[in-house]
Amino acid sequence: MSRPTLDQALEAARTGNAEKLCQYLDAGGDANLRDGSGQLTLLHLAAMGGHLQVVVELTRCSDCRINEPSGRNGDTALIMSVKSGHEAVAKHLLLQSSCDLNLRNRAGFTALMKAAKRGATSLALLLLQHGAELEVASQRGGHTALTLAVSNKRPKTVDQLLDFGASLTHRTASGKTAEDIAYDQRSSAEPGERSKCDRIYRALLDEREHREEVKRDTGLSNDVLNGQYKVIEIIGKGTFGCAFVAQNLRCQDAKAVVKVMRPQPNRRTIEIQRDGIHEAKIMLMADHPQVVRIMQYLKVEKNFCIVMEFCEFGDLDAWINGLDRKHKKFPVDTVIRWFLQLLLGLDYLHGNKIIHRDIKPKNIFLKQDATAKIGDFGFARRLLGEGDYASTVAGTLMYMCPEIMSNLNGTLTATVDVPVEGYDSKCDVWSLGCTLFEMSTMRLPFDPNKLKEQVCGDSPLPRLPKEYPIELDTLLTSMLARERKKRASCSQLLDSQLARDRLQDMKVNGCADDLRFLQSNAHLVKHCAGITSKKTAAATRTRGCIHRLMEAVDSVLNNRQPPAISPNYNLQDDSISDTVPDSIIEALAERVKWSGFPLEQVYRRSVVNLGSDVPPEERRKDYARFTDDMEACEQLETLVVCEMTRQ
């Protein structure tokens, strides 16, 4: 069979005739053949037409130049496939190791910018997950992917780009940010486009508020870490820094918990990093189903971050507090199963010479399958061998074993840096015993006001409630033995008849009952099982005052009853029901409608100015940057004062 002619090869690429093209390539044809005008290659023609099989055959050729720009406008095959909406072709090209997804055409547009302009959400997500750059600006107009999506009224694509951390401060060649563009569009939108413009504008405002909150709580300048982890919700704050749930942007529906260790006034950054690396290395050594898994650790700005697996049902301490408020308790069998799971995890750690040193309900986490895991290794230490002991005070007082607490003075503070007597892994056994008692009774094992006396003295030890097996109560007694040598080890506890029988039962019957209990009571617990996205988290946060005012004005313009307005209005707060003076809202609505009064800008400035006691003349100068209508500004200030005094 004779080799197809050049024209036949070009026609095969244009029409998707993979068989004819293969004949051409097998006969030694040029994989980078251009058409008669010299503008387009075979790959360009196939990509534009969405002919996946032809693209596959061409990319198999080792000499195929995937990133070759067209002679017409400099588009690559990837840009062409995105412009034409051919997702399968784009996906195949992205999988090629030599494909550069951030190449720009002659106008400075990347494949992501083309996807954003078209509103091609699936293609945009594909490019973002493969690492497309967000802040590349076009030569024509100085647009980024976000400003293009806003300009072309693509709300879903705007949401995607914001989730991946697109900059809100970039200005186009005309000096406008994405928020400015959205505001202009909202002001001039036709009735059929108004809801779409509103959605985009409010998404940008929500995102700005969210990022300001993240910066305030975490010290991070961006709410996307390492281009991969998007902050959803802060779940813990302390002296070390904070912890938050994050969305893994490169893997849909996957979440993680990120612990951020921030520099402290009395500690150098290098010390924070040293402690963070130590904790991360300990976690990397621990590979067990009952130990929280570390995913990676990284340095972000001056902060050290540890990324860990997400435990959907939160921590045990939150469950104890949530259930206790409703006078509920854990089922007996659930407590026993969790206790044995934690015992397995501790036994694994101790077998690898790792002592946790801070076992307590706050550091026990519950997974989606209702299993318990040990987490937070900030105090953990690895012993060197059989004769090695830890010798520094560490842990939480209520769960601290006698050999550590005996070295604290009457005010329960460390009197020396090194205790007289060292301690080993049995300190964790004591702490787990205290945790078992708390799980069983919803009470602390010792009186906080007589803590050292009860822990180190000879007062009776805590006992489990009568509904628990006597064998488990016996195990608790052996775990709370005040003399370290008499205290049981994890392996001894696991060798008990109760542990062997119950572990065998768990293998056969699983934890379905525990899961049903958690699911039916999850509403009682904060940061538990209901976190689905940043948007869900935002719904429980304080809603921006500007949104409430916009809704009120829109209601008047559409002849509806205006809703209540409050700068600190919370969707869960039913006590706020008053409406602000209708006459003022109506007057402002008329100004917005007929003279284009810049409601949002002036409202934001008035909240800041009045909250900071800025003098009237300075406030008027500030408002004059946006409008000459000082009467409307005063009316707006009246609303703000009304709301501030009502809080």
The binding site for ATP comprises 259
Does residue 359 contact residue 399 with C-beta atoms inside 8 Å? yes
* Cα(612)–Cα(216) distance, integer angstroms: 19
Element (H, E) at 110: none
* Cα(494)–Cα(343) distance, integer angstroms: 7
Query: Three-state DSSP class for 194?
Result: helix
| Structure tokens belonging to residue 3 | 């080799």
Please give the torsion angle defined by the CA atoms of residues 52, 54, 55 and 57, in that order, rounded to the nearest 10 degrees. Answer: 120
Element (H, E) at 237: strand 229-238
Does residue 318 contact residue 528 with C-beta atoms inside 8 Å? yes
Cβ neighbors of 493 (< 8 A, separation 6 or more) are: 343, 429, 475, 478, 479, 499
Q: What is the DSSP string of 531-594?
A: ---HHHHHHTSPPPHHHHHHHHHHHHHTT-PPPP--TT--TT-TT------HHHHHHHHHHHHH
**Which DSSP symbol is given to 69?**
P
Query: Three-state DSSP class for 333?
Result: helix
Encode burial over 558-587: b for 16+ CB neighbours within 10 A, e otherwise. Answer: eeeebeebbbebeeeeeeeeeebeeebbeb
Element (H, E) at 300: strand 294-300
Element (H, E) at 117: helix 111-118
- CA 556, chain centre distance (Å): 38
* Cα(247)–Cα(640) distance, integer angstroms: 36
Tokens 């109760």, located at residue: 498
What residues are paired with 423 via a beta bridge? 390
Does residue 627 contact residue 634 with C-beta atoms inside 8 Å? no
Residue ranges of the binding site: 259
Element (H, E) at 72: none
**Which DSSP symbol is given to 223?**
S
> Cβ atoms within 10 A of the Cβ of 385, count?
6
* Cα(530)–Cα(75) distance, integer angstroms: 44
Residue 613 annotated as catalytic: no
User: How many Cα neighbours within 13 Å face the side chain of 593?
Assistant: 12
Q: Which residue in 35, 223, 347, 358 is the catalytic one? A: 358
What distance, in Å, lies between the first and last C-alpha atoms of the chain? 86
* Cα(130)–Cα(559) distance, integer angstroms: 48
Q: Give the residue numbers marked as catalytic.
A: 358
